[in-house]
Structure 1
Amino acid sequence: MDLNTITEVVRRPSDRPGADWREGDAWLAGGTWLFSAEQPGLRRLVDLTALDWEPLVPGDEGLEIGATCTVRDLYAFVPPDDWRAGPLLATCCEAFLSSFKVWNAATVGGNICMSLPAGPMITLTVALEAQYELWAPDGSTRIVDALGFVTGNHRNVLAPGEILRRVRIPARALRGHTAHRRFSLTRLGRSTVFLIGTSAPERGDLLLTVTAGTTRPVRLAFDTMPDARTLRESVDALPAALWFADPNGTPGHRRHLTRHFAEEIRRALMTGDPA
């Protein structure tokens, strides 16, 4: 879609582009959402891809993902053998409601900052206990937990002019056991619910991340593997207002699916069989 209110595109921003931020600006990375709808309040686009941020940096401490890393690059990444959670990277890429053409342009940071309930990069990074590095216009940096970044449907903690620079996933999370369940109305449709369970081998705990069915990510944490009743009661205790409603599912439907898949994930992690 043509954005007919745009009067300027900054093709070569400074290394800290927030310093030049002004009202009416928008950060441009993949642009797959930006150019899909009218943006009457925008006057200028600042192209972040010109900064050549490193897309993926694996290391002893885990995985660093640059905000402008494309879905295509993340999907093609081959994780180390000892990262048991490594297959989740590709799984969450496959959860996108998009074509291969969108994969070539859409970015990890863009999906996170859109902050939609069904954003699969949000699901991935919350489940793997990631942290986000945010850059402010005044040059300061702050670190926020992925779990607390999204506050509601299309809402997050970003201040005006603030930018997501990178995502850091810790190695301990990447080495944990995982199981996931996802439901959509059609095979390649938007997620109605998307759940990921993780368990540290040395602790036998459970972190259950619930997304798509809720307006923001939810984490149910247990120091030891809960029994079926405890897990079901924890799901039922989530506030009614937290469940999301759209054409892909009612709150009641999403709550029911979450109960069902949460139990499947619990059993899978107990038996070591993610299927």
Structure 2
Amino acid sequence: MQRFKSLLIAAAGFAALAAQAEKLTVAATAVPHAEILAFVKPTLAKQGVELDVKVFTDYIQPNMQLVEKRVDANFFQTKPYLVEFNKNRGTNLVPSQAVHLEPFGAYSKKVKSIAELKEGAVVAIPNEASNAGRSLILLAKHKVITLKDPSNIMSTVKDVVGNPKKLKFKELEAATLPRVLDQVDLAMINTNYALEAKLVPTKDALLIEDANSPYANYVVTRADNANTPAIKKLAATLSSPEVKKFISEKYKGAVVAAF
């Protein structure tokens, strides 16, 4: 009888804890963002935060749903992308915590090295400003092209002042780039999409950013909820030694911690 009472008390305690838990809805792209969030979910639960992850395949809806207060935060983007988004949309989303870096890479199914690219080769790049600039800067760093200003993260195809191989640039939605590898000579792909397509950045990329890249991926919030306890717990948990170890062991250099 006493044991039964103890079980009832324990159950009541768990029920009370569940009732007190604050729900936090975070929009994320699948790999690695949603995977990292899944890893921290049990830790946050112990801190009274019930984490609900909504997975998206594009870069627009996670921000729009945050603006519309349909989610509390998102986790998928770099600061340059966020700055450009706020500028173009008149929004005021704010970066909270840098979590990891996904080294951007150049991939091909037609050549084994950049040197093999033929004159007039077709190069697919993302069709939004920050990642288009990121693609061009990576190509310029490896002397494939020359940019008017190699430090301008918003460089566009119009800023290419040297193109010895007369490369033809095709701007496409970032999520589609792995799927067009058979149709182009080279594709500049975000690591999250490369991983989803079963590409191994450290092995398959012909060119890849180094650890000095400024493109860390951030948890992003609205100005009105940036300092809430639940957001602070999320930020602290995502920048913990346990998460750094998880990233290192799971992604083996394809994703690296940014803290």
- Give the TM-score normalised by the residue count of structure 1: 0.25
- Structure (1/2) with the larger helix percentage: 2
Computing the radius of gyration over CA atoms, which structure comes out larger, 1 or 2? 2
**Which protein, 1 or 2, shows the higher relative CO under an 8 Å CA cutoff with sep ≥ 6?**
2
